[in-house]
């Protein structure tokens, strides 16, 4: 692997981790405000996190 490819892969991983962390943080804030909607919030959070992880994997394979 070349150095730019390794740096690109590292940025992809960091970006995906930041996005999933932001989703989790926002979901916990939303659940704290509306505990009765926790099921819908968790479902939406898991779907969004899975999509971000899938894009991250695709980008890693492309790199």
What is the per-residue pLDDT for 14? 93
Q: Are 63 and 12 in contact (CB under 8 A)?
A: yes
Q: Determine whether 2 is exposed, middle or buried from the number of CB atoms within 10 Å of its CB (0-12, 13-18, 19+).
A: exposed
Judged against a pLDDT cut of 80, whether residue 3 lies above it is answered with no
Q: Are 41 and 31 in contact (CB under 8 A)?
A: yes
Q: Determine whether 28 is exposed, middle or buried from the number of CB atoms within 10 Å of its CB (0-12, 13-18, 19+).
A: middle
List pLDDT tens digits, range 23-47. Answer: 999 999 999 999 999 999 999 999 9
CA distance 18 to 47: 16
Q: What domains does the chain contain, in order, with CATH numbers?
A: 14-62 (1.20.20.10)
What is the per-residue pLDDT for 10? 87
């Amino acid at each position: 692997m070349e150095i730019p490819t390794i740096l690109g892969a590292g940025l992809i991983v960091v970006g995906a981790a930041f996005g999933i962390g932001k989703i989790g943080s926002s979901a916990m804030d939303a659940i704290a405000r509306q505990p009765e909607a926790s099921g819908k919030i968790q479902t939406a959070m898991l779907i969004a996190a899975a999509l971000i992880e899938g894009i991250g994997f695709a980008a890693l394979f492309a790199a």
